[in-house]
A = this chain, B = another copy of it.
């Protein structure tokens, strides 16, 4: 399958985006979920750095380009329905813009209470 054929086989949503789960290749922690358009998927596959489409800024976003917290791609996987990607990465520093290693730093209990379960590595940026 050519890369264009693969890119065309993905089921993008109405905005042309597919969610990508980013997982720490070393310890399995889920670090973040970002969104990619077709070109961002292509860049992630071919450049070895995760590239997303920023829904808020409406522009490509190479993770770590400004913060230095880059994600080196170790593996890319697609799910059964081809509407979601999993990207295993080598994460430098914090994945979360709030300074935490993972964006999922709050646990919710059955009563809706939130508990912060991690310490920030750096200040928010």
Contacts and interface: CB of A to CB of B under 8 A. Distances in A.
A103 B81 contact: yes
A45 interface: yes
A9 B25 CA distance: 31
A106 to B, nearest CB: 5
Contacts of A113: 1, 6
Contact of A97 (B3, B78, B80, B100): B80
Contacts of A86: 30, 104
A4 B51 CA distance: 35
Interface of A: 1-7, 19, 21, 23, 27-30, 32-33, 45-46, 48, 75-81, 84, 86, 96-98, 100, 103-114, 117
